[in-house]
Structure 1
Amino acid sequence: MVNPPPVLSTVPTDTWVVADWEDILTFADDPTLVSGRFYYDEGCMRIEMSPIGSAHSQDNSIVSTVLVLYAAIRNIAIKELTNPNLRKARLQEAQPDIAYYVGKNLRFPPRNNAPVNLSELDPPTLVVEVAASLEDDTTRKQKLYQRMGVQEYWVVDVNASKVIASYLTPTQSQLIRESQVLPGLDINLVEEAPKRAQNEDDGTISRWLIATLTQQ
């Protein structure tokens, strides 16, 4: 007799719980969790089911615009992945809001619908999480991305229109106010864009960004 798959009520969401690697694969196939985002690290799993509101969506979009326009104007190679599934089998799993491969000799994942296999592929250079509650994003998730090999990690605080940016090494993290992987990008400029987005449309903000960056 085949055991039925677990149902949503068997696992708490939006919190870390002890789990085996097989658990996260099983829950990922659960149709009741199709809209969930999955994280796994050091034998613990987190399934996020919190609704994503307008503030989250707008800040996600405008931060993406800032990064891509900056890279284009500064002639920096960049590849953006929106809500990718990053996986190092049996060790780590994450689904950040945005991830970027940045820099010379850019190598990014092939175009398919499989999780990004970090056992065979390089991790993203920069990961961005957009959050209204910062406790997990600035602690446990940061450690997760650090272990994955991500070089730079940003948490966008939608309530305060702030960006908490960290440069990561395998053993340390350092708060920064200028990006190290997108040289010269001032975090103050990144923070200004979501503030403007509260009253301005995306086209207006894009024109402001282009004018500002081309004058620097």
Structure 2
Amino acid sequence: MSELQTQLPTDTWIYTCWDEYEQIVTNLLNEKGKSYYYKGHMRLEMPPVSFDHGKDHVVIIFAVTLFATLKGILATGLDTTTFRKIGVHDCQPDVAYYLKERAQTIPTGTGIVNLDRYPAPDLVIEIAKTSLLDDLGTKRSLYEDIGVAEYWVVDVQNAQIIAYAMADQGSKRIRESQVLPGLAIAILEEALRLSRQMSQSEVGTWLLSQFQHNEG
């Protein structure tokens, strides 16, 4: 464990000014953690990512990309990318997607996505192994504020997905994606459950059959 990790509490929100937060994040460049900033508070998530977390992460990315491909929906997915509104917000969601006309919004070569210059992603996904309550609470408010259109929290423990449509700095539960029309959350949950029993390639074959069947 690094000296920085022993000095700063993780998995909790700490009152911090933006300048201090930026300095801390700069010092984290060689660490594997994630960082968030919201309403004058920062949060660091430093624990090693578990096998279950990593597996669900891959299944969800594959499922969303496969669905978008089959439906002809332009999609650009991002893995643990930083989205920042300087002095106000900072976040590193596990997965984010720009969809349809926004799929080519962020140019190649971009480092941190500046939310003063570019729009927020259409879809944000957090994979929750140990951070479920925070993902459903404070982070959901953060994503409402930055203008994310849809937000999913994957509950790794229970192979469930809590999905929200977001508008006007508020959110409501949904059972079918609005940014990916026709994608039922229940199919994704079943894919997560199946991934506990079979390989991801077999889950991919099952998803393909489900998505193609629903086209008929």
What range describes the TM-score normalised by the shorter chain of this pair? over 0.9
How do 1:40-189 residues align onto structure 2 when only pairs under 5 Å count? 40-104=37-101, 106-112=103-109, 114-133=111-130, 134-189=132-187
RMSD between aligned residues: 1.6
Shift of 1:51: 1.7
Distance 2:150 2:184 in 1: 14
- DSSP-derived class of the 2:101 partner: coil
Q: CA distance change for structure 1 residues 35 and 174 in 2, over 3 Å: closer, same or farther? A: same
Match of 2:14 among 10, 17, 34: 17
Instruction: Show the counterpart of 1:38.
Output: 35
Shift of 1:105: 5.2
Greater share of residues in helix? 2
Distance 1:153 1:31 in 2: 26
Q: CA distance change for structure 1 residues 209 and 8 in 2, over 3 Å: closer, same or farther? A: closer
Match of 1:209 among 200, 204, 207: 207
The 10-residue stretch of structure 1 (20-29 or 186-195) with the greater mean CA deviation from structure 2: 20-29
Moved over 2 A (4+): 6-11, 104-108
Instruction: Show the counterpart of 1:198.
Output: 196
Q: Structure 2: which 5+ runs fail to align?
A: none
Is residue 26 from structure 1 mapped to residue 40 from structure 2 by the alignment?
A: no
Q: CA distance change for structure 1 residues 105 and 136 in 2, over 3 Å: closer, same or farther? A: closer
Distance 2:68 2:205 in 1: 15
Which amino acid is the alignment partner of residue 55 of structure 1?
A: D
Decide whether the 8 Å contact of 2:163 with 2:173 is kept in 1: yes
Normalised by the length of structure 2, the TM-score is 0.93
Q: Structure 1: which 5+ runs fail to align?
A: 1-5
- DSSP-derived class of the 1:188 partner: helix
Decide whether the 8 Å contact of 2:33 with 2:46 is kept in 1: yes
Number of equivalent positions: 211
- DSSP-derived class of the 1:100 partner: strand
Shift of 1:31: 4.8
